[in-house]
Chains A and B, each alone.
Chain A
Amino acid sequence: MSLTALLVDGLTVRFGSFRAIDDLSLAIDYGEVRAVIGPNGAGKTTLLDVISGITRPKQGRILFNGALDLTQTSEAAIARAGLRRKFQKPSVFEGLTVRQHIAIGADVGFRPRLDTPALDDRIGEVLETVGLTGQSTRLAGELSHGQKQWLEIGMVIASDPSVLMLDEPVAGLTDEETGRTAKLVRALVRPDRAIIVVEHDMDFVERIADRVTVLHEGRTLFEGSMDRVRADAAVVDVYLGR
């Protein structure tokens, strides 16, 4: 099944006179892991900001499942529709325990929907997936950088999102941690889920990505598999620098 999860259509984002995203169009399908790469300032994080409703574009729209225009929807409503995002800088709640994080991620709303046993099961499951089972009562502020990255991933996957955005999930991680994260990402692939990864680590991208989109100055420079990306002269020119 290759339904389109997200359709980005003619998107333009401006900060003052600077065009962070310039008339960008692209489609992301269910079942794929899409890596978005590009040099600094290419508009990768801004694209995720627009998808998650944090930044409003000047022009264009983003359709989720062909119906919901995300550029007109609030951040919380976008998240409740099933789109979740991990931020570039690990964003966790320093004053809460690991367990509370997963509970907040799993059960949306001010009144709990899941009953206690179901919630406990779900938390256990997610903690195991991200490898934090032993840490459940620790405060997030006390975790290491890598653990914070995984905690945030755990928080965003706890609700079973249909679109998962990961902004630099392996930045600052050791090789061993990067390897574990790559396995984790591949394990999250499902036919009814689209995963978007923004990353600079090319080896990591090669291991996880089904398709790669190269952004440059707010536009799509190239789209295809990692092998073809490496072979493309224009990409090599602006980005890989070889």
Chain B
Amino acid sequence: MKLARLTAAAGLLAGLLFAPGLRADTLDRAGLVQELCGDAGAMGRAGAALVATAASGSAQDRAFAAPLARAVIDRKLGCDDAGAVLDEGGLDAVSRTPRAAAGTPRSPLLSLKNRPVFELADAAFALRGAPDIAQRAAALKTLERRPAQIPEGLLDTAAAAESDAGLKEQIDTLAQTAALNASDPAARIRAIGRVAETPSRRALTRIAALASDPVYAANPEFRRAVDAATARIERGIALGDTLATLYNGLSFASILFMAAIGLAIIFGLMGVINLAQGELIMIGAYVTWLVQQGLRVAAPALLDWYLVLAIPVAFLATAAIGIALEALLLRHLYKRPLMSLLATWAVSLFLVNLVRVIFGTQNMQFETPFYVSGGVPVIGDFIFTWNRMFAIAFAVVTLALTWGVVRRTPLGLNIRAVTQNRDMAACIGIPTRRVDMMAFGFGSGLAGLAGLALSPIYSVNPQMGQNFIIDSFMVVVLGGVGTIAGTVVAALGIGQINVLIEPLWGAVAAKVIVLLMIIGFLQWRPEGLFAVKGRRK
């Protein structure tokens, strides 16, 4: 008993001497408990010791100290003649061996000043040690209320040990905030440098807030650091925004290209603009959805791969519709392109309403497989998202495929021959009607693939086709008749112009300007970008 008191006194002394900068490899356990049962000043010192332990104590010390902080807050620490007991007389607070309370235990009451310190300590322990993610998240919330009080190092170690990516990011953010608000200017400048390393709008807001800090006016070094970081972050954001715009433009252009290439081939070949192309895109997306639902029932293990497995299905389904459309309708409207326009519109009307009746008008729900979810943050607010990358990669593959078919296969040779001179092609024995049918099927299939590629990015409903079709027409008009290169360049141009103008003046202005530019362009080159001139036929 005497010994215990003696060690407690020694511990108290040690606590007094070392508490502010405690790097406690060895925590004076008895002394701590002693202080917890002391007056408000002693409890304050004990609280600081707890906080320090939570930040940099050994695992054993933290395991020892964590229940103490909690118990004080909950008023479950019983101070008695023999020290203190936990859990209303279950365990000795120091040795953690069972013993009964000696006499009537007294629960120390936290002062208003000390309560936040203990809460901080408790949260710090929970953040580092709680097994449940919800508890850790709650602890982080508590810490966020007092960033300036968080001990240095706590959040970094907690972040390093954190297994959940989302929570880890939150901890990192808080660590930065804490460091930015630290009392030591040098630490703050270091923190500013670290924040500026990953520029984003959030980082800019945080750094910009420092400009109204009194230190900003007082400390020139600090001011320089803040200004330099602001400039650096702004550069990063500008770069990121530019890249993001180009990236979005590229993905939009990819979809436009896939929608338009079929149109362009068919227009070059037959002089027909297929107003149902947008609906073929829509059908492609719905077929993708059906494949997903089929896999859900038949092979749930493959569900994640539905986007890949749907490729042949979407292509063949829309190609079949295209072939049927050509064989039943357009074949009979040869040389009457304006009537073909109306006929394909009738088909578009029919398909939209058919889908509306069967599936309803709501947006379809798609799974997001791992290969199209998330992304890699690059710089600023630009995230290299996989769903857009999927569309871009898909368009590149489609381009290669189309180029290969048109340039390297007998069908492609026939398509080119008929496009250049239908009568002559017929004379040398090319079955022009068959070529029309196959080309129409091919172009329609490409539209179906466009529908598949855009399903992870855009919403899928019966009206979706109309969002792309007018832009696709403009691609064909701009690109010229039946040229792959023209379609690529026009799709890139229209896609990029759309996303460039959109943030400046809005989506409507983007469409207006694109249309005006195309009309203006036609003044200069009425045949489109890549059309070949020839004699009047």
Judge A-B direct contact (beta carbons within 8 Å). yes
Residue B131 interfacial (CB < 8 Å): no
Q: Do B533 and A15 have beta carbons less than 8 Å apart?
A: yes
A-B contact count (CB 8 A): 14
- Given A15-B532, A15-B535, 11 more contacts at CB 8 Å? A15-B533, A15-B534, A16-B532, A16-B533, A20-B535, A45-B535, A46-B535, A49-B535, A49-B536, A55-B535, A55-B536
Interface residues of A in 12-51 (CB under 8 A from B): 15-16, 20, 45-46, 49
- Determine the chain B residues whose CB is within 8 A of the CB of A15 once the complex forms: 532-535
A-B contact pairs, 14 of them (CB 8 A): A15-B532, A15-B533, A15-B534, A15-B535, A16-B532, A16-B533, A20-B535, A45-B535, A46-B535, A49-B535, A49-B536, A54-B536, A55-B535, A55-B536
Q: Which residues of chain B are within 8 angstroms of A46 by Cβ–Cβ distance?
A: 535
Contacts of B533 in A (CB 8 A): 15-16
> In angstroms, how far is the closest chain A Cβ from the Cβ of B422?
15
Whole-angstrom CA separation of A49 from B536 in the bound complex: 8
Residues of B with C-beta under 8 A to A54: 536
Interface residue tally for chain B (C-beta within 8 Å): 5
Q: Which residues of chain B in 328-355 are interfacial with respect to chain A, using CB atoms and an 8 Å cutoff?
A: none
B412 smallest CB distance to A (angstroms): 20
Give Cα A16–Cα B532 distance, bound, in whole angstroms. 6
* B532 proximity list for chain A (CB < 8 A): 15-16
Residue of A nearest to B537 (CB): A89
Instruction: Give the distance in Å from the alpha carbon of A218 to the alpha carbon of B381 in the complex.
Output: 61
Instruction: List chain B residues, Cβ under 8 A from A16.
Output: 532-533
Question: C-beta contact mask, B509-537 vs A, less than 8 Å → 1, else 0?
Answer: 00000000000000000000000111110
* 5 tightest Cβ-Cβ pairs between the two chains A and B: A15-B533, A16-B532, A15-B534, A54-B536, A46-B535
User: Which range holds the interface residue count of chain A?
Assistant: under 10
A46 CA to B536 CA in the complex, in Å?
A: 9
A interface list, Cβ under 8 A from B:
15-16, 20, 45-46, 49, 54-55
Interface residues of B in 28-65 (CB under 8 A from A): none
Which residues on B sit within 8 Å (CB–CB) of A55? 535-536
Q: How far in angstroms is the closest Cβ of chain A from B423?
A: 12
Contacts of B536 in A (CB 8 A): 49, 54-55
**A8 vs B533: C-alpha distance in the bound complex, in angstroms?**
22
Please report the C-alpha to C-alpha distance between residue A45 and residue B533 in the assembled complex, in whole angstroms. 15
Nearest-CB residue, chain A, relative to B534: A15
Q: Which residues of A contact B534 (CB under 8 A)?
A: 15
Taken together as a complex, chains A and B put the C-alpha atoms of A166 and B535 apart, in Å, by 17
Question: A45 to B536, alpha carbons, bound, how many Å?
Answer: 9
Q: How far is the CA of A145 from the CA of B534 in the complex (A)?
A: 26
Q: Which residue of A lies closest to B535 (CB)?
A: A46
Neighbouring A residues of B535 by C-beta, 8 Å: 15, 20, 45-46, 49, 55
Q: Which of B207-262 contact A (CB under 8 A)?
A: none
B-chain residues with CB within 8 Å of residue A45 when the two chains form the complex: 535
Residues of B within 8 A of A20 (CB): 535
Q: How far is the CB of B47 from chain A (nearest CB, A)?
A: 86
- For the complex formed, measure the closest distance between the CB of B399 and the CB atoms of chain A, giving whole angstroms: 23
Cα distance A15–B536 in the bound complex, in angstroms: 12
Separation of A55 and B535 alpha carbons in the complex (Å): 8
B297 to chain A, nearest CB (A): 56
List CB contacts (< 8 Å) of B81-123 with chain A: none
CB-nearest residue of chain B to A45: B535
Q: Mark B394-409, 1 if CB is under 8 A from A, else 0.
A: 0000000000000000
CB distance from B461 to the nearest CB of A (A): 45
**A17 CB, min distance to chain B CBs, angstroms:** 10
Question: What's the least CB distance linking A161 to chain B, in Å?
Answer: 20
Bound Cα distance A49, B532 (Å): 17
Q: How far is the CB of B448 from chain A (nearest CB, A)?
A: 34
Q: Whole-angstrom distance between the alpha carbons of A45 and B535 in the complex?
A: 9
How far is A154 from B473 in the complex, measured between Cα atoms in Å?
42
Q: How far is the CB of A167 from chain B (nearest CB, A)?
A: 11
Closest to A20 in B: B535
Q: A141–B532 Cα gap in the complex (Å)?
A: 32
Q: Which residue of B lies closest to A14 (CB)?
A: B533
Report the separation of the CA atoms of residues A221 and B161 in the bound assembly, to the nearest whole angstrom: 90
- Bound-state CA distance A55–B536 (Å) is 8
CA distance A45 to B537 in the complex (A): 11
Taking the closest CB of chain A, its distance from the CB of B255, in whole angstroms, is: 31
Nearest chain A residue, comparing its CB with the CB of B536:
A54
Q: In the complex, what residue of chain A is closest to B532 when comparing beta carbons?
A: A16
